[in-house]
Structure formats: structure tokens, C-alpha cells
Amino acid sequence: MTQLKPPAARRDDNFQIDQLGRTRTDPYHWLKDENWQAVMRDPSILRQDVRDYLEAENEYTKENVEAPLESLQKTLLDEMRGRIKEDDSSVPSIDGPYAYYSRYREGGEYPVFARRDRSDPFNEEAPETILFDGELESGNSSYFDIGGLGHSPDHRWLAYAVDRQGSEFYTLKVRNIESGEELPFKVDKTTGGFVWSEASDAIFWVERNENGRSCAVHKRGLYEETDTLIYKEEDEGFFVGAGKSQSGDIIFITANDHTTSEWHWLDAKSSDTEPKLIAARERGHEYSVAHHDDAFYILTNYDHAVDFKITKSPIGNTDPSKWEDVIPHAAGTLILDIISLEEHLIRLERSQGLPRIVIRERRNGSEHTIHFDEAAYALGISGGYEFKTRTLRFSYSSPTTPGQVFDYDIDSGDRSLRKTQKIPSGHEIDSYICERIISIASDGAEIPITLLRHRDTPVNGSAPLLLYGYGSYGITIPAGFSTSRLSLVDRGFIFAIAHIRGGTAKGYQWYLDGKLEKKTNTFTDFISAAETLVETNYTSAGNIVAMGGSAGGLLMGAVSNMAPELFGGFIAAVPFVDVLNTMSDESLPLTPPEWPEWGNPLNDHEAYDTIEAYSPYDQVSNRPYPRMLITGGLSDPRVTYWEPAKWAAKLRHEAPDAGPYFLRINMEAGHGGSTGRFEGLKETALEYAFALQCVGLADNTMKGPV
């Protein structure tokens, strides 16, 4: 096998950027194709010198990572695939006369969406009507993503939105369910989001503009060729969305950035297309709305409710000063979601890092909580299609317990187990141990860490450990079940998730303490977690592989600059590492909407200095970086391909004796990588094979702790 030399990207050391009285150089700025917006839609027009460089990087990675690990990657992939029930199906959800569900064929990459009569909803042998066959519809597309799919209220039509490029521009179409006939209805440049009119004769769809931002809601009749503009967002920093209430009576139009919300509503049964405002946007005020009879129930942080509260407002008078508290604010208990049913108000909340479901009776205000016993777990709630129901569907899993779906009888408290995730190759829950420990940050904050290990893996400092983190946008990585992780854990790895600041594991303040001028808390928390895992003998310095993607890739980049000696390797998937340049480029899809998360370095001197001080690309220097696997997608509108490419080039130039660094750009995909259940697994298998390689276990193709 030929060991190729690493590519050396040409440098333009004379390219300078003057901004707010500061000057910086960007020697690899040329990797950003000036026609990048068109490239997102048609990658074939990528400038040739950029293509040549990316393909050289891919070839280098192929020869030095993929080829040597091919056998191990295949073994891991076979294991991961062996844990998947290939002909799996979802639990049917009842709506009117039908039960709707999705299923996979044996070996299928994409789901089949279908329905059967509601009289026998859980009988898999009952006759069905196929609504949309993803496997068939994907055709020969190298990329295929189903953005949205939904039947009309009269159950006659199916609307669906697909993206065949990875650019997240979806095409929306409609077909007759019984005949399969396609209507002339076709809308391009959508986000994939849409809502049916209650009369089933029109669709409210969300437009994505040339900069890749959701910007407007339009209404189009099924047999019309023109649209009625319902709402147009003038602020480039706000995303637009559309949805329908659980009651089916209200269509909501939303506009929000990361810290501010504004909702409008329409009567779903009226022809009136003039949306009514619920509460005008006020910087820092976030809210969401559910409907019941003549009132809105509003989940809000209004009036200093940091962890949110639930209020009630008459539809006819939605002035926030008149909102009535239903569930008052409780510091440290973050209300995540609410579902409004005819006789119950249900909320999902998180306290001390663990979620819980609370059910409230409308008639008397009494409440009860659904209890769970494991040390760490993940929960989800679903309202389904029905409003007049006394059944709640929820999902449950833990790092050791495969996913389960329950229907919960609100009156009796009985749980009907509708589905348990089947592991065809077998899974012994008692073979694994899940633990929750606490790391103390440099400022005294207590950082939860969720751990999964095989019961035979010793806790004496000898075990390799994969430490996963994210820590942005208030997103918390759930302590749920993953079949893929078992391939590492079965080889003696400990899998750890650090619930660092920037997420909401310990409430909304946990998020606020990891953004803007406090962003470095996210990085130091992760380092503290790694140090604690060494101090408590779960692993040892240099035996930790760190992993994160997107904003979690930023975490990888920042930590690699701050404490490279702690780690044996980094896996940075679609990493957001060119932070200062990206947050200074108003043309990029996510830049204006993300200034509330990171700061605006175009007009804020402090934001500029804060970002520059941690931006991974800007802070690369001659440090003892360990091995790195860096991935990206050519069509990615969220983290553009040139971010990981520039970072890899600079790492190789500034620290040539460290690393090595391997860049892999998927030339046929976007932010989420390959589509399809098994194609995506190939990427996971490669990442885990690389993790094993980082700690010297790439030859360990046998299961069992080492």
C-alpha cells in the first residue's frame, strides 16, 4: 500500500482582513468557492483547484485510514447492522379511521410509510395501503432525504418533501393516496416544513431563500399555480416555521432566533389568511404555544422565568402582562415541552439532569408524575394525532436498556408496552453498567457525566475511553440507548457523555453559562470531565478519544488547542471551527440567526475578542496534537465544507510533527452525512475504527474487554 504524503494546501499569507480596528490573516481563504451558493445546489460546478485539493485530502485519508482499517470497519459495520432489526416498524398512531406508521423492508435503506384500518392497528398482518415508498422513490440518487411527509385531514392526499442533494432545499409535492396519482402541485426551495389546511384543499409551506434561510410562509391551493403570501420575515436573524395545534383548530406561524420568539396564529377552519400576533418579539423572550378551547397555554421565560413556566391567555387578549400562571417558575427545573389534550395538560421537564413526565388534570389541577428507576435515562413524549384522548404515548431508553414505546393510560396509570427495540444479535442488559458521576469545574460547577461500560471492564485506569460532548444551543445529549456504541464498549472502551455548560442538562441557566462571553466554560468543563475520569481511574491521560460534531466539533477544536496532551485522538464531525470568519460573513445561511449564540464580531469589539480567543482555526499553533479525523460535507449549508478543510490545512502547516490529521469530505452529502440507515452506519464504523486505532486497538477485531 502506498503511503501518500499529506497534501500541502497553498497559502496566501498576504490575504488580510481588517475588522473593528483589528487585522487577521486567512491564508486558506481561497478554499471557499466564491460561487458557494450555487455549489450547494450543484456540486459539479465546484472550482477545480478546490476540488483537486479536497480529493487529494480524501485520497490521503483513504490510503492511511480507510484502507488500513477496512477489515475492522467491516467487522464493526457487520456488528452494528446485526443489532438492527432490518424489517423494523414504528408503533402505529391512530388518526380518525386509520392507523399511520412507517416500516423498513429487509435490507432497505429508506422507510416505507403506510396506513391500515384503526380497528386492528397493531396487527402487522392486517391489510395496508402504502403511502410513500422511500426505497422506490430514492431511485439512483446518491443522496436522498425525506424532509416532511403528512396526510391531509380528510385522509385523501399525501404531501411530501425530498432533498436529493444535501443542501436542505426540499421539493414539495402532493399525490392522491388511493390512486397514487401525482398532482401538478410542485414547490421548490422549501425547508421541507408544511401544514395542511383543515379543509384539505391547500398547504401552508415554508420558503427557504437563496441564503438558505427560512424566510416566509405561503399558502397554495392544491390545484393552483400561484401562492398567497401569509407571512414574510424581514429580519435575517430569524427563522420561520409553521405548525398546527394538537386540537387541529389553530395554525401557528413562528419566527425565532436562538433567544427570542414571536408566534402568530390563524383559524385553521377559516379562509382568513391574515395572521394574528400572540406576543411581539422582545429580545430574550422565548415562548411556545399550545391551544385548548378559547385559550392558549404558553410555555415562556417571561418575567425572569429562567427555567420557564406555563401560563394561560384568552385567545382574544394575548398581552403578556395579562398571562396567568398555571405552572409557576421553579428554578432548576426546566420545562422542555407541553402537550395540550382535551382533558389534560402534559409537560416534560428536566431536573438535576434527568427528565420526567408530569400530567395535570384540567378540571381540578391535580398532578401526577410517571416514575423511572434507572440512574440515567432518556424520555420523549408524543401527542400523536388525537386531541380527545386519555392516552399518552412516551418513549424510554437508557444507556443499557434498548428503546421502548409505551401507551400510558392516564386514568389508571397502566403502561402498555407497544414496542421494545429488538437486537437480533442479542443484548444482555446485565452485561453493562451505567453510572452517573460528577466532575467539579474550575469555578466549582458540578458537571454530570454519564458512563457506560461492560461489567468486565476494570476501573483501574487501564481502559480506553471515548468522551462525547456538544455543549451549545441549549441542546442536551440524552442518556439513551445506542446499538452502535456497544461495538466500542464490547472491546473494553468506556463510553462517556459530558453534560457540559452550553446545554440544558441542569436547567436553562446551564445554557446561559456556556454561551457568548461565557463560551469558554463549555471547553473547560469538557477538560475538567476528562481530568476527573483520569483521577477516578476510569481511564488515563492519552487514552481518551474525544468526539463531537457540528458545534461539538467546535468543542473538539477548542479543547485540542487547550489540552492536547490529555487525549489520544479527536474525531471532529462537520466541525464549526472557523468561528470568527463565519460569524463575520452575513451571507452564510446561519450567521445572522446565530449572533445571539456567539456574538456579532462585525460590530461588537468584545464579541470579536472573545471569539478570536477560542476560535479553533485562529488559535492553531505548534502544539502536541494527537491523531485527528476531521469530516465534512460538500453540500453542507450549516457548517460549510471549507471550515474543516481550512482547519486541517492549518493544523498540518503549524504543527507538522504532531497529528497526523486526516480530512474526509463527503462529496455527495451535506451536514448529516450519508442518508439511509446502513450508509450512515458505515461512517460511524469508520469513526469507531479510528477511535480504536488511536489507542492501539485497531487489531482487536474480537469482542470482549481487553
Catalogue the active-site residues.
Answer: 550, 636, 671
C-beta of residue 289 within 8 angstroms of C-beta of residue 296 = yes
SS3 666: strand
* Strand 567-573 versus strand 544-549 pairing type: parallel
Q: Give the SS3 label for residue 498.
A: strand
The size of the chain, in residues, is: 706
**Cell numbers that stand for 51 in this block:** 476540488
Among residues 529, 497, 551, the alpha carbon closest in space to that of 377 is found at 497
Phi/psi of residue 637, each to 5°? -90, -10
Instruction: Report whether 553 contacts 573 (CB < 8 A).
Output: yes
Cα-Cα end-to-end distance for the chain: 29
Residue 471: C-alpha distances to residues 238, 645, 685, 689 (Å): 22, 23, 24, 25
| Contacts for 284 with CB less than 8 Å, ≥ 6 apart | 259, 260, 301
CA distances from 277 to 252, 270, 663 (A): 10, 16, 48
CA dihedral 34, 36, 42, 43 (to 10 degrees): 90
Nearest-angstrom CA–CA distance, 681 and 48: 30
The CB-side HSE value for 331 (13 A sphere, CA atoms) comes to 2
| Identity at 544, one-letter amino acid code | I
Q: Do β-strands 432-440 and 446-454 pair in parallel, antiparallel, or remain unpaired?
A: antiparallel
Element (H, E) at 217: strand 214-221
In 3D space, the residue among 512, 524, 442, 523 whose CA is nearest the CA of residue 474 turns out to be: 512
Cis peptide before 660 (omega within 30 of 0): yes
**How far apart, in whole angstroms, are the C-alpha atoms of residue 105 and residue 102?**
10
Answer for the pair 79, 424: CB distance below 8 angstroms, yes or no.
no
Residue 587 C-alpha cell reads as 451571507
Take residue 352 and report the three cell numbers written for it: 438535576
SS3 78: helix
Q: How many helices (H) and strands (E) does the chain have?
A: 14, 37
C-alpha cell at 163: 432533498
Nearest to 153 by CA among 222, 230, 214, 208: 222
Round to whole Å and give the CA distance between 608 and 202. 46
User: What residues pair up with 339 in beta bridges, in sequence order?
Assistant: 346
Which cell is 229 given?
403570501
Rounded Cα gap, residues 255 and 253, in angstroms: 7
The answer to whether residues 488 and 691 touch, using CB atoms and an 8 Å cutoff, is yes
